[in-house]
Amino acid sequence: MKYKYLALLMSLLLFTTAAAGCNADQDNSGDVIDVKKPYIAVIAKGFQHKFWQTVREGAEDAADDFDVAITYEGPDTEAQIDKQVEMVDAALAKNPVAICLAALDSKAVVSALEKAKSRNIPVVGFDSGVDSEIVVATAATDNHAAAALAADKLAEAIGKEGKIGMIVHDQVSTTGRARRDGFKDRIESAYPNIKIVDIQYADGDHTRSADAAKAIMTAHPDLKGMYGANEGSAIGVMLAVEELGKVGKITVVGFDSGKKQVDSIRSGEMLGAVTQNPYQIGYKAVEAAYRASRGEAVEAKIDTGYEWYDKNNVNSEEIKKLLYD
């Protein structure tokens, strides 16, 4: 009798497990997909910065609010363009109702986007977005305008004259180009006595950004200012300034907000930076993807906002909720 009871119990356990497996699946990102809900794939540019973790929080909250299932993944570094393309192809194989994509390289994902279009799967860009007419909407900061604001702040701080350098994460993503051009265009058009002596690209890596910044500072000992176009770039610039003993001698402005960056601003070592709203980027991307999958009209450009912060307002409630350190 005892053995019959055990056998019955084991059978019930196996049945329960099998039943659960019918309602959920797990993809290679580790996320569990509820197959009873519409599935949206969210593919970011990476995980190496806290920024992307906050984007994920927004995306997951939107998934809950709109009752959809999502997966959230990205390559280990923002230099792994091929890896991201593989992730997009793998997502398409799971038959999502929509895809949210922050492309590392807009040209590299063209083939995958064409597959999505042929299957009537709407694509929503977020953060850097995707440079393609296939994309139905993009949830992002106005990076060109935000970078121009950083240029104004640096120009004012150095008396609107002198030599400056730029460290940018890349020149292939829409974000990289917009943050470079927004800053560069404002300096060249509004401040004729400021000269940009060099622009270097370092994939947002702290160490590579620091090395690039040190090279610029060494080549131009009379440099007055530096701009870092994303979290990794800005932190790299600060590391270089500290290592070369240039704190207080070179004015630094940045973009985004890593812990090192925020700490440097609080101490006054970095002048300030532009911060995005990563939570809203993630939330609005999934919301737009959900609505587009249902055939609803969505805005082509969804502005998620930005703010300048420095030691005067970094501890304010309005700014603290936008920091992702």
> Is residue 154 a part of any domain in this protein?
yes
Q: DSSP of 275-305, one letter per residue?
A: EE-HHHHHHHHHHHHHHHHTT----SEEE--
pLDDT, one tens digit per residue, over 163-182 is 999 999 999 888 899 999 99
Do 285 and 270 have their domain in common?
Answer: no
Given this model, what pLDDT does residue 29 score? Answer: 52
CA distance linking residue 102 with residue 124, whole number of Å: 9
> Is residue 252 a part of any domain in this protein?
yes
Q: What is the CA radius of gyration of the chain?
A: 23
Q: pLDDT tens digits, the chain, 325 residues: what are they?
A: 444 444 444 444 444 444 444 444 554 455 556 568 999 999 999 876 778 888 999 999 999 999 999 999 999 988 899 999 999 999 999 999 999 999 999 889 999 999 999 999 999 999 876 878 899 999 999 999 999 999 999 999 999 999 999 999 999 888 899 999 999 999 999 999 999 999 999 999 999 999 999 999 999 999 999 999 999 999 999 999 999 999 999 999 999 988 889 999 999 999 999 999 999 999 999 999 999 999 999 999 999 999 999 999 999 998 988 887 6
> Is residue 315 a part of any domain in this protein?
no
Do 78 and 173 have their domain in common?
Answer: no
Do 34 and 153 have their domain in common?
Answer: no
Given this model, what pLDDT does residue 58 score? Answer: 95
Do 104 and 36 have their domain in common?
Answer: yes
Given this model, what pLDDT does residue 51 score? Answer: 83
pLDDT, one tens digit per residue, over 14-23 is 444 444 444 4
Buried b (16+ CB within 10 A) or exposed e, 152-185: bbbbebbeeebbbbbbbbbebbbbbbbbbbbbbe
Q: 97 lies in which domain range?
A: 2-140+279-304
Given this model, what pLDDT does residue 32 score? Answer: 56
What does the angle CA 189 – CA 194 – CA 195 come to, to the nearest 5 degrees?
Answer: 95
Do 6 and 114 have their domain in common?
Answer: yes
Given this model, what pLDDT does residue 12 score? Answer: 46
Given this model, what pLDDT does residue 35 score? Answer: 64
> Is residue 292 a part of any domain in this protein?
yes
> Is residue 212 a part of any domain in this protein?
yes
Prediction pTM value: 0.72
